[in-house]
Amino acid sequence: MVRLLLAVDPSAAVVADGQGMLPVHRAAGSGHTATCKLLMATAPHTAVVPDAEGRTPLQCALDGNDDDYFYNYKDPPHLDAARCFIAAGPAAAALAALSAVPQALPLFADFFIARSTHLTSEEWKAAWSAVPAPCPGLMRALPAVLAHSAQQAGHLVQHLPPTDVQRLRTAALCLSRAQKQSSVCLLDIVQQILLLMCA
């Protein structure tokens, strides 16, 4: 339905309703991930436009649908919909939105995966200040962060849950043993991961 509407009139993506919300705010707040992607493809700039209350689509997705006053029910955060907006707008705004919602901790990995190649040194510093330690799910971002720099990957390791750190240590020991037994040199990326564990 939304696809058909946008095909007929793409400007519908930027028309606010009576409460000052764009369709992307409604879709994000209701957890309609596919609709969010469709609306962003039609009007990418709406990904950072605040609604009448000053909330971006990312914040709407993290807030869940809180419009149901009759039942006084608030949906949990819509993390899949929120992922659509992680790379949109200033890094500081995304970090603030993620930090405000405890259930959104796994999205910090998505933040680093999407933004690690574009962050300035100040943004890296702010990011590590915003990420709680331990941060569940953060290990998914290790390859992207390590591709940026070993120093930033070291910061990431400091924010991993103890179980993930233990997994990395176990992997390092296994790789070290395999290297000694087979006399094979490890790939550079494996060596970097091993060095991170020793730091």
Top-ranked range on mean pLDDT: pick from 136-145, 164-173, 184-193: 136-145
Segment 24-32 mean pLDDT:
95
Nearest-CA neighbor of 150 among 91, 111, 118, 197?
A: 197
Q: Cβ(65)–Cβ(75) under 8 Å?
A: yes
The answer on 53 and 144 residing in a single domain is: no
Same domain, yes or no: 107 and 22: no
Q: pLDDT: is 176 or 111 the higher one? A: 111
CA atoms within 13 A on the CB side of 150: 12
Q: Could you report the per-residue pLDDT of 66-108, keeping only the tens digit for each?
A: 554 444 456 678 999 999 999 999 999 999 999 999 999 999 9
Does 47 share its domain with 136? Answer: no
pLDDT tens column, 121-147:
999 999 999 999 999 999 999 999 989
Structural domain including 183 reads 91-199
Say yes or no: 11 and 60 in one domain.
yes
- Phi, psi at residue 65, to the nearest 5°? -85, 105
Q: Based on the domain organization, do 133 and 183 belong to the same domain?
A: yes
**Total count of domains within the chain:** 2
Instruction: State the average pLDDT over residues 176-195.
Output: 71
Which domain CATH number covers 14? 1.25.40.20
What percent of the chain stands above pLDDT 90?
A: 63
